[in-house]
Structure 1
């Protein structure tokens, strides 16, 4: 894996948007079932302007994985520990890029004193999260009309959330 994980910036929005659209279209067929209406709804808000606004949001921690000047992964987590966006480029699947990106989110969550992470995962990504310590919490549904799964991970060494280490 050659990816460098860093904070996402406004200049990354166009590449990140392209990556999101490719990852959803090419990797998440199990979820959208090649249904053009579901795919259109899922991709509808994936514009460079929206991605830039998500990156700029003060209540988000936004990261990109880069291989040279290419954005190969993107992740956004809220200050409450909810992973709201997490995608990698199809060509870097199984290279460790996603694991490194998730590790960077976990590090930030621990720095914030969070005790757990949560995600409403695609069916496609469920195995990835479970291999990385997330537990199944139940079924979920996305706004785009797809089934999802709620998953959570307790963060070791995260303390009680009061600012002191336990």
Structure 2
């Protein structure tokens, strides 16, 4: 597995991975209408390009195919973390979270905050994140549950 910083040429592959993962992995915890509303954010390509440019945004690859991605802001907000539906349980998310934690420590951040999905909550808890609160976010008029979570560094 190779890990590297993302660039704008990765955008299409990142967005496909994002929508496929939500549709195929998160569907056990979210309804079809929630999946549709959540994945619709892939249409805002300018927003995603801004994330790639301004965040510490990493991708993992196998045989020149992106298998996962994750990003964190300079302030310590873990914004994205997704692993390809066909590459679950291979240590990709662990590799990504380790790299983001290392980045946060190198930048003398005291904590990492994220809004973890129901699906991702056990993974984040395994890596030292604590639930601050359950929350409902509105996407396209649809309420979607997630968890505000924090890891102290």
TM over 0.5: yes
**Separation (CA, whole Å) in 1 of partners of 2:64 and 2:117:** 28
Q: Give the TM-score of the pair, scaled to structure 1.
A: 0.84
Stretches (4+) displaced over 3 A: none
- The match for 1:84 is 79
1:142 Cα deviation after fit: 2.4
Q: 1:137 to 1:48 in 2, by over 3 A?
A: closer
- The match for 1:64 is 59
Q: How many residue pairs get matched?
A: 149
Unpaired stretches in structure 2, ≥5 consecutive residues: none
Unpaired stretches in structure 1, ≥5 consecutive residues: 156-166
- The match for 2:32 is 34
Q: 1:40 to 1:34 in 2, by over 3 A?
A: closer
Is the strand fraction higher in 1 or 2?
A: 2
Q: Give the TM-score of the pair, scaled to structure 2.
A: 0.90
Is the helix fraction higher in 1 or 2?
A: 2
**Structure with larger Rg:** 1
**Separation (CA, whole Å) in 2 of partners of 1:119 and 1:112:** 17
- The match for 1:162 is none
**Separation (CA, whole Å) in 2 of partners of 1:114 and 1:66:** 27
1:141 Cα deviation after fit: 2.0
Q: 1:70 to 1:48 in 2, by over 3 A?
A: farther
